Structure 1
Amino acid sequence: MKNKSIFKVLACLAIMSFNSVAFTDTAEIINDCMDCHGNNGISTEPDMPTIAGASATFIESALFAYKDNVRPAQQSKYRFGDISKAPTDMKKIVDQLSAQQISDIATFFAQKPFKAAKQGFNQALVSDGKKVHEIKCQRCHNSGGSDPDDDSGILAGQHSLYLENSMKDYQDGSREMDKKMQQKIDQLNSDEWQALLAYYASQQ
């Protein structure tokens, strides 16, 4: 009986230790995310998206897209924290994550408030960009691209350079998209795209 009691105590301690390690690992991963995406996921780097405030569904989908090789993972150096760490990419990072960790990370950043990037834009193009958005983008990107609940990502106030790079990935086929989005993007000319960038950047 005594041996059974000792076994139960040891088993409980093992479970507590495992849970503690799992939590620490997830916390470390979140801190690692912030070393590129900024404090609480608010990016100050023009080529790095702000992930704070996006829906958990959107963030999870993005992480699994890297994991499944349907989204290109560009190598990047660390911007904050220990910047002496070797450059990495999203594919290398997500390949180390469990489904539960991905869910926890998505939930953490989804609960943080989005903050629009302070950036320059062409004021003369904003009105045209709004019209293009309402005709070609509004159906999936609600409220001028600012509604996280549509699970399509936040465009309004996102860094223009990041959006430009994303568009290039869509256009060259290296980033997967659904057929409806493909049709809309194929219809955009360069002037319309520049107008869209101005419109999204103007929402500060």
Structure 2
Amino acid sequence: MKRLISIAISLTLGLFASTSMAGDLDAVVENCNGCHGNDGVSQWADVPTIAGVSEFVHSDALYIFRDEGRPCTESKYRQGDTSRPATTMCAVVADMSDDMIEEVAAYYAALPFVPAKQEFDAALAAAGKAIHDAECDRCHSEGGANPDDDAGILAGQWAGYLTDTFAEYRAGEREQPKKMEEKLNALSDDDVKALIHYYASQQ
């Protein structure tokens, strides 16, 4: 009898913990969507779409933000309760547990990536494709569209966000593999601009 009671208590506590964790995840996702858009699909040029990004890339980014290893630019909430004070990614994840980071990453990885509808220059995009094929496709395959590379999705990402990101990498403000650093430093500003137009063209 005592054993049955013990099992029942364990099951109840387990159910409570799962329900509590699910509730926490819902709240975190709602907060994320306040800047990144419904289901993580951004409608704003300076904010990346996070839906469809691999679990590894997303969780790695959140851990780095938690350690304040990337620039933490202040941003206003774009939807929901927009009266909330502006925040930063570092502040958002400051108290987030490892388990929650992994849950958030898994949640968004399961959603489809939606390319941004945006303007681009066709001539620059063609030049950018040639640069990508020669310098970037080994790690960012399928034109930068393959999430299984665990190297982020470049194709269809917002050009404004990519412009800021490339600038941070080239300024040494973001950690990057040595090979990537060497390749980026060898590119001219015009080369980078062409790459961004190429990624923006993939809609």
**Does the alignment reach a TM-score above 0.5?**
yes
Structure 1 runs not aligned, ≥5 long: none
Which residue number corresponds to residue 100 of structure 2? 101
Q: Report deviation, 1:22.
A: 2.0
For residue 135 of structure 2, what is the amino acid of its counterpart? Answer: K
Distance 1:163 1:51 in 2: 13
Q: Residue 109 of structure 1 aligns to a residue in which SS? A: helix
Q: Which moved more, 1:64-73 or 1:183-192?
A: 64-73
Distance 2:63 2:9 in 1: 36
Identity %: 41
Distance 2:193 2:4 in 1: 70
Aligned residues: 203
Q: Residue 139 of structure 2 aligns to a residue in which SS? A: coil
Structure 2 runs not aligned, ≥5 long: none
For residue 116 of structure 1, what is the amino acid of its counterpart? Answer: P
* Cα displacement string for residues 135-174 of structure 1 (whole angstroms, at most 9, x for unaligned residues): 1111110000000000011101100000000111112221
Which residue number corresponds to residue 132 of structure 2? 133
Distance 2:181 2:157 in 1: 21
Within a 5 Å distance, the mapping from 1:88-127 to structure 2 comes to 88-127=87-126
Which residue number corresponds to residue 22 of structure 2? 23
* Cα displacement string for residues 33-60 of structure 1 (whole angstroms, at most 9, x for unaligned residues): 1111111111000000001111111111
Q: Report deviation, 1:75.
A: 1.1
Query: Which aligned segments of 4 or more residues in structure 1 are displaced greater than 4 angstroms?
Result: 4-15
1:181 and 2:160 equivalent? no
Which residue number corresponds to residue 159 of structure 2? 160
For residue 143 of structure 2, what is the amino acid of its counterpart? Answer: G
Q: Residue 191 of structure 1 aligns to a residue in which SS? A: helix
For residue 43 of structure 2, what is the amino acid of its counterpart? Answer: T
Distance 1:154 1:5 in 2: 50
RMSD, aligned α-carbons: 1.8
Which residue number corresponds to residue 41 of structure 1? 40
Q: Residue 46 of structure 2 aligns to a residue in which SS? A: coil
Distance 1:196 1:7 in 2: 61
* Cα displacement string for residues 61-82 of structure 1 (whole angstroms, at most 9, x for unaligned residues): 1111111222111111111111
Q: Give the structure-2-normalised TM-score.
A: 0.93
Distance 2:16 2:103 in 1: 19
Q: Give the structure-1-normalised TM-score.
A: 0.92
Which residue number corresponds to residue 149 of structure 1? 148
Which residue number corresponds to residue 87 of structure 1? 86
Which residue number corresponds to residue 31 of structure 2? 32
Distance 2:40 2:125 in 1: 27
